[in-house]
Structure 1
Amino acid sequence: MRTLLRLATAGSVDDGKSTLVGRLLFDSKSVLADQFDAVERVSRDRGLATADLALLTDGLRSEREQGITIDVAYRYFATAERSFILADCPGHVQYTRNTVTGASTADVVVLLVDVRHGIQEQTRRHLAVASLLRVPHVVVVVNKIDLVDYDQATYAAVAEQVLAAAGELGLTDVTTIPVSALVGDNVVDRSAHTPWYDGPCLLEHLEQLSPVGDPQSEPLRFPVQVVIRPQSAADERFRDYRGYAGQIASGLVRVGDPVTVLPSGRTTTVAGIDTADGELAEAFAPQSVTLRLTDDVDVARGDLVVTSRSVPRLTQDIDGTVAWLAEHPLTAGTKVLLKHGTRTVQALVRSVGGRLDLDTADLVPSDSLGLNDIGHVTLRLASTIPAEEYLHSRSTGAFLLVDGQDGGTLAAGMVGDALLSSVATG
């Protein structure tokens, strides 16, 4: 069975990301013949001698020119070794918020750097996002190596820059690969133009990487999305039915397991696990199921069902790291909604503890956060939530800050100040 790897691509404008993604899709034979014919036709119309593979992924360009908000584009391809879900993030600095979205579930971030220019501010920002989100692997593609005549010294200088910047941000699993996305050097096949490079090509490296740790090995965390209670049912078996539906965020659940419902703290056991295809004896992340409980426990949307062997603490105070995604600044005293799992509570920003300086990788004093800033905040909640350190749980350690007026997302957050401290100290 082929394993699944989730990757997010990022890079500064004109670093060649669209061409790289197009090359990956084309050389891995994940492009339909009619799609490629259309690309060749448009390329000829533009006077190009060869097909411009960037056209395979640049469908968002017309939307960008019309001023429409750019979202993350998800693409799917597979090789004999594994399947891939690729989150293609926009390169412009004003779309850094989309990189946060794309990298939040990624096993690896593929970051492009133009070998002629070296690392840029946006490169550092993307590395900081990868560090904050604890993405397990980072691959830096040093692109356009053909434009410097495949010079080893030029590549080595950029690779040294990249590794130094990554080290300052606390990233340890970082690989650099010399690539020409336009020509295809070291993308899917190793290149004869770089005999001095003895590492894997990009696709080979992606096929060898280990995905994020198995969520099934973590404690059960089941956010309740909806309570199912049929008001009328033709079948007598369902007239007293009560089930709690949602997606398992982490862990494994079996019929008969002792569980605790938060925030009430009531304990019970699992009486049954239902799906659209019938009952199960056990279920695991990320399956969507309906749990039936032995006792008549008061459970509502937003509650969290956890294994009684590992119960997270309830708190109204959050120290966290946030990537601020809104046009207006964040300051102390701001009232927001905090979304944690399926639960939404009112929150007050008590303080802003500083922001990350991307040039020095230091936490610098600041009483506000602007668009695309990454910083530390403390929050006071109107009611308790079962928050866990993001370092230990990506599912229950993450939250969103939401505008209570229009419902817009203001920030992506991670519970725990140790995140920013580790980034700042390296």
Structure 2
Amino acid sequence: MQAGVADFLRTKKGEFPDQEGNKSLLRFLTCGSVDDGKSTLIGRLLYDTKLLFEDQIVALENDSRRHGTAGDDIDFALLVDGLEAEREQGITIDVAYRFFTTKRRKFIVADTPGHEEYTRNMATGASTADLAVVLIDARKGVLQQSRRHSYIASLLGIKHIVLAVNKIDLIGYEKVVFSQITDDYLRFAADLDFATIQPIPLSARYGDNVIARSANTPWYDGPSLLDHLETVSIENLFAGKSFRFPVQYVSRPNLDFRGFSGQIASGRIHIGDRVTVAKSGQSSSIKEIVTFDGLLEEAVEGQAVTLVLEDQLEVSRGNVLVASDDRPNVADQFQAHIIWFDADPMIPGRSYILRTETDSVGVTVTALKYCVDINTLAHLAAKSSQMNEISVCNLATQTPIVFDRYADNRVMGNFILIDRLSKRTMGAGMIDFPLRRAENVHWQSLEVTRGARAAIKHQEPAVIWFTGLSGSGKSTVANWLEKLLLAKGRHTYILDGDNVRHGLNKDLGFTEEDRVENIRRVAEVAKLMADAGLIVLVSFISPFRSERQLARELFENGEFMEVFIDTPIEECARRDPKGLYKKAMRGEIQNFTGISSPYEPPMNPELHLNTMDETPANLARKIEAHLESRTTGPRSR
């Protein structure tokens, strides 16, 4: 929790002062399309409620003269748009939070960007909000970005909407236009799970219907914006939420104390309550609730505490203490809605890092079921999800994770997807439910182990992964290597890209999506072969680093060897053993690596071999020597 929010919500001693403690808190955000007046509305709201200090008003007036877009009037948007780039361009880029209070309620408001490229920032602001103010420019009506933000608000669990038809002054305060926009929006939102939708005609610039009803709209008999924000009924904070406590730190200052520290994600806990360790299923009772200010009898959602258990259970950082009578899901397969943020598309079969409140694990999108048409909410078949698209997918994690359905618990039901190599945040997800197949499919324990299979062959299993451009010499070097190994009595098998496409992968083409699936399947086959004790030679272009990294992570330390067969593309094209480069250059072959599709060279391969300097036989001997040194020397496990 940010320091400003914490100071706003509580005193230094962790208790609400009397006059503030009786007030409820409303978290809301402004969203909508570009230039609909989101920042201006918040600035006007703070100004008209007299919640600005005199020096803030003076600074706002000065900034309006330098950067303002409202002529001689105060540009209220500058009160919220604090970044220099925002002021120079006249747009909102980052999420800006403002904290204020009135006689009836406390507020935390998030001003979010309207530009499509900053959809991730809007989703961030919506993730903790109870209500969304969706601004609509009265001259433009409901736009695609208005629909996108409304749909995201619905996905993220927001139940209350204010349809703020702004700039009503620019259409002469016409009731007909307001009614048309309201009808259009209500038709669109009919299938979204909103509890209330309150349309309000307003002018953020001039203050019409912002804090009081305006004489310019005598035909409007609803509340002003502030009246509605102060009176809208927000669900009980703790109603229906089970206790969830992600363990962030194991506190062991001495031999006599062992506690588990973190912030309560949901629900409440009392001394003596039974709790269960989510992943292991072990249970105990709460012995003490420790805080900086002393012991508590009870703690609730949002409080940072240290819990001491009656029994000595194994609980590590990343696990979750939960109510014993209402436990979360622990599974490695589930369905989720995903908002994709990155310019690189999301592709089924590609591996990412999934990060939740408690876990960070490898994950693969096993199926993209459909993307959502923002205008109609129709389900569209798709092979990939592009930037700012919303899709429904099945995912499989490398190990089981602890989660609730997002609809039941925002904190325990959300996750982000991170690129394995660049560490960029690629998308955000909301878990719908675990997949039943995760409960039905279990790993069968076998009595003959991989160690036994390898021992009878007198070798250690290995996977030698050849990567490089078409025509670089991968298959030639792999063939020489297999002959050398066979002469020494090694048990081997070559998985060659062309050969595999005649059978296992004959259904796949050469789109980026199919290439990802091509490598995923081959990596899994190589894993099975290594489990059989074989030395597996994999000769595939495998152009993407993320898929090669996925393959590496399937194997034990020291078992995977990446060999980069580095040949200049000009030399590959000169050799052109299959005539593919000529066809690709004539446009007869699409998605050809190095011509119309990228190749991402390895960054840290075990071996980097240049075919321009040595013969395939010599290169094979180098690989053999590296393999022998690995198998005869100490291995890290």
The alignment's TM-score, normalised by the length of structure 2, stands at 0.62
Cα 1:69–1:37 change in 2 (3 A) is closer
Q: CA deviation at 1:344?
A: 1.4
SS of the residue corresponding to residue 326 of structure 2 reads coil
Aligned residue in 2 for 1:340: 356
SS of the residue corresponding to residue 134 of structure 1 reads coil
Q: What is the CA–CA distance in structure 2 between the aligned matches of 1:88 and 1:69, rounded to whole Å?
A: 8
Q: What is the CA–CA distance in structure 2 between the aligned matches of 1:369 and 1:259, rounded to whole Å?
A: 40
Q: What is the CA–CA distance in structure 1 between the aligned matches of 2:426 and 2:245, rounded to whole Å?
A: 25
Q: CA deviation at 1:340?
A: 2.1
Gaps of 5+ in 2: 1-21, 435-637
Q: What is the CA–CA distance in structure 1 between the aligned matches of 2:329 and 2:62, rounded to whole Å?
A: 60
Q: CA deviation at 1:44?
A: 4.4
Give the counterpart of 1:180 among 203, 208, 219. Answer: 203
Paired residues for 1:137-286 under 5 Å: 137-215=160-238, 217-230=240-253, 238-286=254-302
Q: CA deviation at 1:73?
A: 1.1
Q: CA deviation at 1:313?
A: 3.0
Q: What is the CA–CA distance in structure 2 between the aligned matches of 1:287 and 1:392, rounded to whole Å?
A: 20
Aligned residue in 1 for 2:472: none
Q: What is the CA–CA distance in structure 1 between the aligned matches of 2:226 and 2:285, rounded to whole Å?
A: 46
Aligned residue in 2 for 1:134: 157
Aligned residue in 1 for 2:52: 31
Stretch moving more, 215-224 or 102-111? 215-224
SS of the residue corresponding to residue 416 of structure 1 reads strand
Matched, 1:120 2:136: no
Query: Aligned AA for 2:123?
Result: V
Cα 1:363–1:199 change in 2 (3 A) is same
Aligned residue in 1 for 2:365: 349
Matched, 1:371 2:375: no
Q: CA deviation at 1:210?
A: 2.2
Cα 1:282–1:216 change in 2 (3 A) is farther
**Contact persistence 1:216–1:285 (CA under 8 A):** no
Q: CA deviation at 1:417?
A: 6.4
Bigger Rg over Cα: 2
1:106-158: CA deviation from partner (whole Å, max 9, x where unpaired)? 00011100011101110010111011112010111000111111111111111
Give the counterpart of 2:83 among 57, 60, 77. Answer: 60
Q: What is the CA–CA distance in structure 2 between the aligned matches of 1:131 and 1:177, rounded to whole Å?
A: 20
SS of the residue corresponding to residue 145 of structure 2 reads helix
CA-based RMSD: 2.0
**Contact persistence 2:92–2:113 (CA under 8 A):** no
SS of the residue corresponding to residue 326 of structure 1 reads coil
**Contact persistence 2:419–2:426 (CA under 8 A):** yes
Q: What is the CA–CA distance in structure 1 between the aligned matches of 2:194 and 2:295, rounded to whole Å?
A: 43
Aligned residue in 1 for 2:29: 8
Matched, 1:318 2:339: no
Gaps of 5+ in 1: 231-237, 419-426
Query: Aligned AA for 2:72?
Result: A
Aligned residue in 1 for 2:74: 51
Aligned residue in 1 for 2:454: none
More strand by share: 1
Q: What is the CA–CA distance in structure 1 between the aligned matches of 2:267 and 2:131, rounded to whole Å?
A: 22
Q: What is the CA–CA distance in structure 1 between the aligned matches of 2:159 and 2:28, rounded to whole Å?
A: 11
Cα 1:53–1:70 change in 2 (3 A) is closer
**Contact persistence 1:108–1:135 (CA under 8 A):** yes
Q: What is the CA–CA distance in structure 2 between the aligned matches of 1:164 and 1:213, rounded to whole Å?
A: 29
Q: CA deviation at 1:292?
A: 0.6
**Contact persistence 1:8–1:108 (CA under 8 A):** yes
Stretch moving more, 389-398 or 244-253? 389-398
Aligned residue in 2 for 1:94: 117
**Contact persistence 2:167–2:203 (CA under 8 A):** yes
1:24-43: CA deviation from partner (whole Å, max 9, x where unpaired)? 11011121111111222343
Cα 1:352–1:19 change in 2 (3 A) is same
Cα 1:298–1:342 change in 2 (3 A) is same
More helix by share: 2
**Contact persistence 1:352–1:366 (CA under 8 A):** yes
1:135-182: CA deviation from partner (whole Å, max 9, x where unpaired)? 010111000111111111111111111111111444452111000111
1:365-386: CA deviation from partner (whole Å, max 9, x where unpaired)? 0111111111011111111122
Q: CA deviation at 1:205?
A: 0.2
**Contact persistence 2:92–2:114 (CA under 8 A):** no
Matched, 1:21 2:35: no
Q: What is the CA–CA distance in structure 2 between the aligned matches of 1:352 and 1:98, rounded to whole Å?
A: 24
Q: What is the CA–CA distance in structure 2 between the aligned matches of 1:321 and 1:314, rounded to whole Å?
A: 18
Query: Aligned AA for 1:202?
Result: L
SS of the residue corresponding to residue 403 of structure 2 reads coil
Q: What is the CA–CA distance in structure 2 between the aligned matches of 1:401 and 1:55, rounded to whole Å?
A: 33
Q: What is the CA–CA distance in structure 1 between the aligned matches of 2:357 and 2:176, rounded to whole Å?
A: 48
Give the counterpart of 2:311 among 285, 290, 295. Answer: 295
Q: What is the CA–CA distance in structure 2 between the aligned matches of 1:185 and 1:416, rounded to whole Å?
A: 41
Aligned residue in 2 for 1:234: none
**Contact persistence 1:332–1:352 (CA under 8 A):** yes
Q: What is the CA–CA distance in structure 2 between the aligned matches of 1:37 and 1:251, rounded to whole Å?
A: 44
Q: CA deviation at 1:86?
A: 0.7
State how many pairs are aligned: 411
Matched, 1:41 2:66: no
Q: Percent of aligned positions with the same letter in both sequences?
A: 44
Cα 1:23–1:65 change in 2 (3 A) is closer
Runs of 4+ more than 6 Å apart: none
Q: CA deviation at 1:239?
A: 3.4
SS of the residue corresponding to residue 203 of structure 1 reads helix
**Contact persistence 2:241–2:408 (CA under 8 A):** no
The alignment's TM-score, normalised by the length of structure 1, stands at 0.92
1:344-398: CA deviation from partner (whole Å, max 9, x where unpaired)? 1211111111111011111110111111111011111111122222222222222
Q: What is the CA–CA distance in structure 1 between the aligned matches of 2:78 and 2:409, rounded to whole Å?
A: 38
Q: What is the CA–CA distance in structure 1 between the aligned matches of 2:243 and 2:376, rounded to whole Å?
A: 39
Stretch moving more, 216-225 or 246-255? 216-225
Matched, 1:412 2:428: yes
